[in-house]
Chain A
Amino acid sequence: DAKTTQPPSMDCAEGRAANLPCNHSTISGNEYVYWYRQIHSQGPQYIIHGLKNNETNEMASLIITEDRKSSTLILPHATLRDTAVYYCIVRPYGTSYGKLTFGQGTILTVHP
C-alpha cells in the first residue's frame, strides 16, 4: 500500500471547519484514499473514501487533488466530539479490506 504522511497534530475551534491534510505522493492508479478516526477508548471508525472525485457524506468531505498525490478531509463544523486521531489510508481496490496499514495519524483537538 502507498505510504501516507500526515501532520502529527492539529487544533480547531468548535464550530469551525477542520481541514486535515494527507500526502500520498506514491499512490497508484487503482488505490483508493480511506479515512478512519479513533476516538479515545474506542475502535477506529470509517469516515469516507474516494478514488479521484471529491466525496461528501453525512460526516465529512474528501477533497482529492487532480494528481491524486494529496487529499484533505474536511469536517465542516467541528464539535468537541470530533476530537480524535484521524488516519489517512491508501489501499488498492478489490484487495482484502481487513488488512489496513495504519500510520500514526493526526491528533485533532477541537477546543471550545
Chain B
Amino acid sequence: SAVISQKPSRDICQRGTSLTIQCQVDSQVTMMFWYRQQPGQSLTLIATANQGSEATYESGFVIDKFPISRPNLTFSTLTVSNMSPEDSSIYLCSVEDRHGDSGANVLTFGAGSRLTVL
C-alpha cells in the first residue's frame, strides 16, 4: 500500500491567515484527493487533484478558499485561505491504491492535518 505523509500534523492558526498543508506519497499516483473532517463529523471530499491540470472541486468548495497545487505525481498541497474558526477541521490527503491481497482499488489516507483556528 502507498504511504502518505502529511505536514503539518497539527497547527493553531490565527483568524485571517492562510496555511498550506503538504501531502507526499511514496509512489507515483494519478489522482490525489483532499477531504475535510469537521469536529465530530464525517469526511467530506473537497477536491480531486490531477497532475498537470486544475483541481476539480466538489459542491460547496471553491478554489479561492482552498487552492490546490499538484506539481508532480507524488506531491500535492492544499491551502486553507483567510481562515476563520469554522475552518477548524482535520484535512486529509488520500490516493487511489491497490489493496495488497485482494488487488481491489481502494483509498489510502494520510494521518491528517488537524487545524485549529482561533
Residues of A within 8 A of B (CB): 34, 36, 41-46, 49, 57-58, 87, 96-100, 102-105
A44:B43 contact, CB within 8 angstroms = yes
**Least CB separation from A98: chain B residue:** B33
A98:B45 contact, CB within 8 angstroms = yes
Chain B residues with Cβ below 8 Å from A57 are 101-102
B94:A43 contact, CB within 8 angstroms = yes
Main secondary structure, interface of B, reads strand
Residues of B within 8 A of A (CB): 4, 31, 33, 41-45, 48, 92, 94-96, 99, 101-102, 104-112
Chain B residues with Cβ below 8 Å from A45 are 109
Instruction: Enumerate 30 A-B pairs (CB-CB under 8 Å) in ascending A order.
Output: A34-B106, A41-B111, A41-B112, A42-B109, A42-B111, A42-B112, A43-B4, A43-B94, A43-B110, A43-B112, A45-B109, A46-B104, A46-B108, A49-B106, A57-B101, A87-B42, A96-B48, A96-B96, A97-B105, A97-B107, A98-B31, A98-B45, A98-B95, A98-B107, A99-B33, A99-B48, A100-B45, A102-B42, A104-B42, A105-B42
